[in-house]
Amino acid sequence: MNNNPQSLVRRILNSEKPFVFYHTHIVNEENLQHAIAEEKSMDLDVSIDDEGNPYLGHSPEYHRKSGEPYFDSVPLWRAVDLISKSNIAVMVDCKHYDAWPVIEEIVEKIGPERCRVGSYVSELKFEHSRGGEEPDYLTDWSPAEKLRLLKEKYPAVTTVVYARWLPNDLLVSGEYKKLIEHVRDVVSTHHVDSVSLNIPYETVTNEWLRYFRIKNIIPAINVNNIDTTKLTEVYIGETDYLENASNVTQL
């Protein structure tokens, strides 16, 4: 048994190749079993209902404000149990600021070296690209310190922070140098491994990947519908298509 397992982010860096996670809002028996059989990854959105019970999905606030129906996923601990008995990697996203104790239980059960834990953080909440009627889901937001403390407790866990409502032309306009520097400083100060800017990802270049990499930060990008063939620097990807997700055996 390896008593000092390497984190996902360290293994990704050592591979010198991007690693693409499977992203989904719905975790059912079919996609869960396929992900395990194909040795890929899974995406667990963790929330808390109005009675304080954890479940897979977005927050009650999200569904009330968006009008979207709840996602039809398997019970949380059913998914965690199956994943813990496999070798796949998992994205664990905190979708409710009261879910952190549950996040820790999941990390303990699956193993920190197999988990990438993320959250929207209040330090990276902006207004630049927010639509006039776009709701703000307050339960989404946690302080970046939550990720720092998790990393201190579980050094082998991989962490990521999500930004929201940055300018869409953040990486192509010359006017946001200070803003980009602020984002990088927030991530670096809290010793977070990765950041998702939530901007048009076709604007990401090798130059910008290197800009974060020199501070030991790997950007996370959604690779759906973009050409990644020109990206030679390491990044962490997300795809809505299981067949396009990376195999964990490459790490």
Helix residue spans in the chain (DSSP H): 8-15, 29-37, 60-66, 76-84, 100-110, 145-153, 177-189, 206-213
Residue 238 pairs with which residues in a beta bridge?
A: 21, 222
* Phi, psi dihedral angles at 101 (to 5 degrees): -60, -35
Question: Has residue 3 been placed in a domain?
Answer: no
Reported as a single tens digit per residue, the pLDDT across 181-232 is: 999 999 999 999 999 999 999 999 999 999 999 999 999 999 999 999 999 9
Domain holding 159, by residue range, is 8-250
**What is the average pLDDT across 44-73?**
97
Which residues touch 114 (CB under 8 Å, ≥6 apart)?
Answer: 8, 87, 88, 89, 90
Reported as a single tens digit per residue, the pLDDT across 6-27 is: 999 999 999 999 999 999 999 9
Can you give the pLDDT at residue 1? 46
Reported as a single tens digit per residue, the pLDDT across 122-157 is: 999 999 999 989 999 999 999 999 999 999 999 999
Can you tell me the distance from the alpha carbon of 123 to that of 166, in angstroms, rounded to the nearest whole number? 12
Number of domains comprising the chain = 1
76, 103 Cβ separation under 8 angstroms? no
Per-residue confidence band for 108, with pLDDT thresholds at 50, 70 and 90: very high
Question: Has residue 27 been placed in a domain?
Answer: yes
Can you tell me the distance from the alpha carbon of 110 to that of 230, in angstroms, rounded to the nearest whole number? 34
Question: Has residue 1 been placed in a domain?
Answer: no
Question: Has residue 2 been placed in a domain?
Answer: no
| pLDDT for residue 2 is more than 90 | no
- Whichever domain contains 24, its CATH number is 3.20.20.70
Can you give the pLDDT at residue 4? 78
pTM over 0.85: yes
**What is the average pLDDT across 73-96?**
98
Can you tell me the distance from the alpha carbon of 195 to that of 199, in angstroms, rounded to the nearest whole number? 12
Length of the chain: 251
**What is the average pLDDT across 78-103?**
98
102, 129 Cβ separation under 8 angstroms? no
Can you give the pLDDT at residue 3? 67
